[in-house]
Amino acid sequence: MSDGGSAATPTTEELSREAIARVDPSGQLREVLALPEHLRDALWRVESAIMSEWDTPGGLVVAGMGGSAIGGALARAALGDHSSRPIFVTRAYGLPSWTTPDTTVLCASYSGNTEETLACYESAGALGAQRVVVTTGGRLAAMARDDGIPVIPVPGGFQPRAAVAYMTVAALEVAALCGAGPRLTSEIDVAAAHTEQLVAEWGPEASEDSLAKATARALHGTIPLVAGAGLTAPIAYRWKTQINENAKQPAFSHELPELDHNEIVGWEGSGELGRFAAVFLDDSDAHPRVKERIELTERLIAPFAAACLRIETRGESAFERVISLVLLGDLISIYMAALRGVDPGPVEVIERLKAGLSER
């Protein structure tokens, strides 16, 4: 991690497992630390649900919202140039206009009751597209079973965002099964072992100056703006949403090089409006020109930022590197919740929104 700007107000509050447990009665930290186990379990669940392959030249559309959709975006990033057909994530009530019967549609909804995803399921059926479902149950599972559609089962009892491993592995495996990309089974196994090492390095038993705890402290009291490029772009969005939901505070994300054509100018006025922190998620295998761009952008933004951090992926394969920063961001968001003294579990305003929509 590099810190190119002035640090946010430091805090020495302990981030031990016991301290976090005082604000985390539902065990959100426990689920983050279980990421390696979730990766292995997810592989088994896909293999037990789908025993055959099929061929859809139109590629793969992953339909989902929130924590259920992020798996598709992370899978697409992990496959990168190795994907042989389009892989698209839709977060809407409908499918892309170009979706045809030659497209596989993976409907991802943790609860099984997400209305946008249910609409996509029905649209895919009307088109005659190959469908697969990943869910814990709900209406989506019931409809799929009535229609004879494969259902990849996800364990219940999580907040949807904690099922990131299940949703990502499901998207990767379905991409392979429909011909949109290669099988990454061995990479997933290796990534699970690598993630166990990172859990020890960044988890609550790690030193108080570990990367995860130090980053959480640097971001405490700021509004983080997280930037990614290429492989790390969807991870930046994951960091943003995890900080939103776990730490219960604003955070935003953007993508390089687009950021350099607009947002970089806005930093000039940031000091008048609040304490904003810049976080750049770099990839150890990024194009040299991208690395140069990140370094220069960081240098230009740093004078205006409460904190300016650059963090690099860890691991050999693209999937390992993706998962490394997913784990780090998830831990940071939990630590930020603990520093704020807020429970990372509930998302009451989302539930109120859904209740309001159901009355209309």
User: Which residue bears the tokens 């992926």?
Assistant: 313
Contacts of residue 10, Cβ cutoff 8 Å, sequence gap at least 6:
217, 218
174 and 249, same structural domain?
Answer: no
Q: Residue 314 domain-assigned?
A: yes
For the chain, first and last CA: distance in Å?
A: 48
Q: Which of 127, 160, 188 is the last residue of a domain?
A: 188
pTM for this prediction: 0.95
* pLDDT at residue number 11: 58
Residues 31, 187, 245, 263: which is the catalytic one? 245
What is the band of 358 on the pLDDT scale with cuts at 50, 70, 90? confident
Asked if the model's pLDDT at residue 303 lies above 60, the reply is: yes
Query: pLDDT tens-digit profile of 148-193?
Result: 999 999 999 999 999 999 999 999 999 999 999 999 999 999 999 9
CA dist., res. 18 & res. 301, Å (int): 37
* Residue 248: active-site member: no
Mean pLDDT computed over every residue of the chain: 95
Q: Residue 351 domain-assigned?
A: no
> Count of alpha carbons within 13 Å of 204, Cβ hemisphere only?
22
Q: Which of 128, 156, 188 is the last residue of a domain?
A: 188
What is the band of 10 on the pLDDT scale with cuts at 50, 70, 90? very low
Q: Residue 129 domain-assigned?
A: yes
183 and 39, same structural domain?
Answer: yes
Q: Residue 200 domain-assigned?
A: no
> What is the Cα Rg of the chain in Å?
20
Q: Which amino acid is at 38?
A: H
* pLDDT at residue number 290: 94
Q: Which amino acid is at 163?
A: A
CATH number for position 222: 3.40.50.10490
Interaxial angle between packed helices 164-177 and 70-79, expressed in degrees from 0 to 180 and rounded to the nearest 10:
50
User: Which residue bears the tokens 């009307």?
Assistant: 126
- The 3-state DSSP composition of the chain as helix, strand, coil percent (nearest 5) reads 55, 15, 35
295 and 247, same structural domain?
Answer: yes
What is the band of 14 on the pLDDT scale with cuts at 50, 70, 90? confident
Q: Residue 195 domain-assigned?
A: no
User: Which residue bears the tokens 């006025």?
Assistant: 269
Give the DSSP H/E element, type plus range, for residue 150. none
238 and 131, same structural domain?
Answer: no
Tokens at 145, concatenated: 């079973």
- Average pLDDT over every residue of 132-146: 98
134 and 45, same structural domain?
Answer: yes
The domain total for the chain is 2
Q: Residue 360 domain-assigned?
A: no
61 and 6, same structural domain?
Answer: no
Cβ-in-10-Å burial (0-12, 13-18, 19+) of 215 comes to buried
| Cα dihedral sign, 333-335-341-345 | positive
* pLDDT at residue number 9: 44
Residues 261, 272, 348, 359: which is the catalytic one? 261
CA dist., res. 117 & res. 157, Å (int): 20
- Average pLDDT over every residue of 322-336: 98
CA dist., res. 74 & res. 59, Å (int): 16
Q: Residue 345 domain-assigned?
A: no
Task: Compute CA distances 312 → 126, 212, 328, 356, whole Å.
Answer: 44, 12, 11, 41
CA dist., res. 223 & res. 267, Å (int): 12
Task: Compute CA distances 88 → 105, 113, 121, 245, 258, whole Å.
Answer: 10, 22, 15, 24, 20
267 and 129, same structural domain?
Answer: no
227 and 180, same structural domain?
Answer: no
| Cα dihedral sign, 237-244-3-272 | positive
Query: pLDDT tens-digit profile of 20-70?
Result: 999 999 999 999 999 999 999 999 999 999 878 999 999 999 999 999 999
Helix (H, G, I), strand (E, B) or coil at 357: helix
Asked if the model's pLDDT at residue 4 lies above 50, the reply is: no
Query: pLDDT tens-digit profile of 237-294?
Result: 999 999 999 999 999 999 999 999 999 999 999 999 999 999 999 999 999 999 999 9
* Residue 245: active-site member: yes
Query: pLDDT tens-digit profile of 72-93?
Result: 999 999 999 999 999 999 999 9
* Residue 354: active-site member: yes
Domain residues for 221? 2-16+205-340
* pLDDT at residue number 1: 53
39 and 175, same structural domain?
Answer: yes
SS (H, E, C) 292-333: HHHHHHHHHHHHHCCEEEEEECCCCCHHHHHHHHHHHHHHHH
Residues 47, 53, 258, 354: which is the catalytic one? 354
Q: Residue 127 domain-assigned?
A: yes
Asked if the model's pLDDT at residue 7 lies above 50, the reply is: no
